[in-house]
Structure 1
Amino acid sequence: MHKFFPTILIFLDICAAAGYVPSGDWRKVVYWLAAATLTTVVTW
């Protein structure tokens, strides 16, 4: 249960990255994917 909120945060980061794909703002896509990766590495 203690990994529930980080998992939600990772999911939201990936959703935020996916939201910028249609507009082609690749810097923000990379930013949000990096945030998801960092949260994953720190959590697990």
Structure 2
Amino acid sequence: MTRRIRIHGKQRTTINEERLTQALLLIAAELHEACSENGTGGVA
């Protein structure tokens, strides 16, 4: 039982990390587009 719980915990953390990285990439892309539209050269 303990092994299964630990394995599930690791899988959940990896999935959460993947979702966080995807969200950060989307936010970075949106910030880059907004800055490029403002004419700041893509620098946040």
Shorter-chain TM band:
0.5 to 0.7
Q: Between the two proteins, what is the percent identity of the paired residues?
A: 7
4+ aligned runs moved over 3 Å, structure 1: none
**Bigger-Rg structure (1/2):** 2
Q: Unpaired segments of 5 or more residues in structure 2?
A: 1-14
Q: CA RMSD in A?
A: 1.7
Higher relative contact order (CA 8 A, sep 6+): 1
Number of residue-to-residue matches in the alignment: 29
Per the normalisation by structure 1, the TM-score is 0.54
Q: Unpaired segments of 5 or more residues in structure 1?
A: 33-44
Per the normalisation by structure 2, the TM-score is 0.54
